[in-house]
Amino acid sequence: MEKYRANLLLCAGTGCVASGTQEVKEALKEELKKRDLEDEIKLVLTGCNGFCAEGPVMLVYPEEIFYQKLTVEDIPKLVEEHFLKGRPYEKLMFREPEKRAAIPLMNDIPFFKYQVLRVLRNKGMIDPDSLDEYIARDGYMAAAKALTGMTSEEIIKTIKDSGLRGRGGAGFPTGLKWEFASKSQADQKYMLCNGDEGDPGAFMDRSVMEADPHSVIEGMVIGAKAIGATKGVIYVRAEYPLAVQRLQKAIEDCREAGLLGENILDSGFSFDVEIYLGAGAFVCGEETALMRSIEGKRGMPRPRPPFPAHKGLWDKPSVLNNVETLAQIAPTILNGSEWYRTLGTEKSPGTKVFALTGDIRNVGLVEVPMGTPLKRIIYDIGGGIKKKKKKFKSVQMGGPSGGCIPESLLDIPVTYEDIVKTGAIMGSGGMVVMDEDTCMVSTSKFFLEFTADESCGKCTPCRVGTRVMLDMLTDITEGKGKEGDIETLEDLSRDIIATSLCGLGQTAPNPVLSTIRYFREEYESHIRDHWCKTGICSHLCSFHISEELCKGCQACLKACPQQAIIGEKKKAHRIIQELCIQCRSCYDTCKFGSIKIGPPGKKDLPAPVSKAEDK
């Protein structure tokens, strides 16, 4: 946005559109052109601002001046006054209405304010089961343009110039992938969609398939034309029944309307799509394994080359794209590559969808321009840490292939390049936020458990390596860690990364490496002091009640499943260590932060014998 002297945010909510946004937009465009201001002033259509009665409304940045009730006739004067003479055009300036409902506006709420929707453009707006409603929001207009008015080369050029990078994780340039496949000669090619979404904590693709299935199909139709494919498959995991059901309905509607099948839109181009249900193995999200799985074989990766663009499904040239990648194709074809680049950064243009989960207040699905600082996503949009008194500790990005980013790095912008520098990866968009009560050793163990379990077993480094690492991590969390373990883990990681066959093994050690990098002292404390300071590793901690802080409210006493806490009302309580099983119930219950976590076996108070014998 910095390039422009001013940004005009013209409201395109239904209310304003009904009172003439489109006409005003055309008039503004013309006037800016006439006055040679096109390169200095940018016109943007926004969502509803909540002032429909005063519409069409427009907000001018950076001055934040609000104009209301715009008409085509007013435009020349407004442009002259405000943008040539530099003084706001009073006549149309917004005046705060006498009484406004006490409900916040989109702009008052950071969760909505900082989002810009492209992939999720129809989110919550259309009935996913209605083809007509999709069409009403420009649906299949891009397919029509691509099929009837563009050559394969033109489509590929548009996508290449847009700089769109695959959203499945690796960020490979989509246009380039299409170009490779288009140049392969074959009697049959395939256009495939990856809806496997195996990362724990990720749900972006599910939401897109559920909320806007046609956007994915339209992207596939355009991709198919670009590479010359006549058949397509959407690979979705069977655990996503609603997504499957809505995709199925969308495909059937398209066939009936002639948007899939023979001679689409009378263009002479034919293409059809079917759904293949995956059984939910993580490795089946990897492209070569996914193709084998569709062939009915066991989903296992194979070495590349040959790349799928030359030999893919059934050994025919194939392109596999992620759901979110495909959902962006239609608007890019419709509006052009320049438009695509108006958001995001040079190397990571466009927007990215993130699934925010974990210890964060606004669990949900958000879309932001690339380059948005992590801090803004977590604190402004996400609303920060859910539990009031807890502090942020780390955000996990990229799932089992990614890493944990500490607080000190939250100023970095989310782009493919910047995230990789932290040791995490952009991945598909899962963002798991963790507060100070998270043990980072256990977190990395969790991910290793996942990858060791999901390893297909074909190559040794991944099959055996992840298991050995997992055993070491388990030992560390049980107090059986040894000096040198950290170095061995680092060493093993490097070997597994270098020698594994596919992306699963090549990235599996990332969660371990990144937690060692930023939270090494936690590993050391586990290994040397046998002390898990967050009290998550139950063998490596003990719980104590601070006499000064305890108010004697008896809440912990009631929560304790072991009846290990004793104490009278309004007097400091204490924990009988022999009975305590380190379940954390008291810690989670206490409102005054009076439960402290010490090293294991620490006995600050002798257990009163009588009470223990009662049991």
Ligand X SMILES: Cc1cc2nc3c(=O)[nH]c(=O)nc-3n(C[C@H](O)[C@H](O)[C@H](O)COP(=O)(O)O)c2cc1C
Nearest-angstrom CA–CA distance, 351 and 371 = 9
Q: Which residue lies nearer to ligand X by CB, 89 or 282? A: 282
- Specify whether the CB–CB gap between 11 and 51 falls below 8 A: yes
Q: Does 132 bind other proteins (CB under 8 A)?
A: yes
Q: List the one residue out of 615, 611, 614 whose CA is nearest residue 566.
A: 611
Nearest distance, CB of residue 301 and ligand X, angstroms = 7
DSSP assignment of 159-195 equals HHHHT-B-TTTT--BHHHHHHHHHHS--S--EEEEEE
Among other proteins, ligand X, none, the one that 519 touches (CB under a kind-dependent 5 to 8 A) is: none
Give the other-Cβ count within 10 Å of 412's Cβ.
17
Residues 230, 96: Cα–Cα separation, whole Å = 57
By the rule CB under 8 A, 1 interacts with other proteins: no
Q: Which is nearer to other proteins, 44 or 579 (CB)?
A: 44
d(CA 281, CA 611) in angstroms, rounded, equals 52
Looking at the DSSP bridge assignments, the partners of residue 173 are 165
Q: Of residues 487-506, which lie at the interface with other proteins (CB under 8 A)?
A: none
Among 15, 139, 175, 198, the residue binding ligand X under the rule CB under 6 A is: 198
- Give residues 263-292 in contact with ligand X (rule: CB under 6 A): 282-283, 285-287
Q: What is the Cα–Cα distance from 32 to 30, expressed in whole angstroms? A: 6
With a CB cutoff of 8 Å and minimum separation 6, the contacts of 544 are 574, 575, 595, 596, 597, 598, 602, 604
Residue 113 near residue 46, CB atoms below 8 Å: no
**How large is the angle between the packed helices 460-477 and 510-528, nearest 10 degrees?**
30
Q: Which residue has the tokens 């246009």?
A: 175
The residues that bridge with 344 in the sheet, in sequence order, are 349
Q: For residue 549, give Cα distances in angstroms to 34, 559, 589, 596.
A: 71, 18, 14, 10
The 10 Å Cβ neighbour count of residue 245 is 16
In the complex with other proteins, which residue's Cβ is closer, 10 or 405?
10
What is the contact mask toward other proteins in residues 235 to 274, using x (rule: CB under 8 A)? -----x-x-------------xxxx---x-xx--------
Residue 13 contact, options other proteins, ligand X, none, Cβ 5-8 Å cut-off depending on partner type: other proteins
Taking the complex as a whole, how short is the minimal distance between the CB of residue 265 and other proteins, in angstroms? 6
- Name which of residues 48 to 87 contact other proteins (CB under 8 A): 48-53
325 part of the interface to ligand X, by CB under 6 A? yes
Q: Which is nearer to ligand X, 168 or 331 (CB)?
A: 168
| Shortest spacing between CB 61 and other proteins, in angstroms | 13
Q: Does 129 bind other proteins (CB under 8 A)?
A: yes
Q: Which stretch binds other proteins (CB under 8 A): 107-115, 161-169, 397-405, 407-415?
A: 107-115
What residue 359 binds from other proteins, ligand X, none (CB within 5 to 8 A, per partner kind)? Answer: none
Among residues 47, 479, 567, 598, which is the contact residue for other proteins, using CB under 8 A?
A: 47
| Distance, CA of 480 to CA of 351 (rounded, Å) | 45
Q: Which of 1, 62, 113, 172 binds ligand X (CB under 6 A)?
A: 172
Which residues 414-433 are close enough to bind ligand X by CB under 6 A? 428
Examine residue 573 and tell whether it contacts other proteins (CB under 8 A). Answer: no
| Residue 468 contact among ligand X, other proteins, none, beta carbon within 5 to 8 Å by kind | none
Picked from other proteins, ligand X, none, the partner binding residue 196 (CB below 5 to 8 A depending on kind) is ligand X
3-state SS of 459-505 is CHHHHHHHHHHHHHHHHHHCCCCCCCHHHHHHHHHHHHHHHCCCHHH
Q: Which is nearer to ligand X, 15 or 402 (CB)?
A: 402
The residue (of 141 and 583) whose beta carbon lies closer to other proteins is 141
Q: Does residue 118 belong to the site contacting other proteins (CB under 8 A)?
A: yes
Q: Which residues lie closer than 8 Å to 472 by C-beta, 6 or more apart?
A: 481, 485, 488, 489
**CA gap 610, 595 in Å, rounded:** 24
User: 236 or 441, CB closer to ligand X?
Assistant: 236
Query: What is the smallest separation between the CB atom of 99 and other proteins, expressed in angstroms?
Result: 12
Query: Which residue among 37, 72, 106, 464 contacts other proteins (CB under 8 A)?
Result: 106
**462 within 8 A of 483, measured Cβ to Cβ:** no
Choice from 21, 321, 351, 415 touching ligand X (CB under 6 A): 321
Contact partner at residue 135 from other proteins, ligand X, none, CB < 5 to 8 Å by partner kind: other proteins
DSSP element (H, E) containing 338: helix 337-340
Stretch that binds ligand X, among 166-174, 254-262, 419-427, 557-565 (CB under 6 A): 166-174
Judged by the rule CB under 6 A, the positions of this chain that interact with ligand X are 166-170, 172, 174, 194, 196-198, 282-283, 285-287, 320-322, 325, 428, 502-504
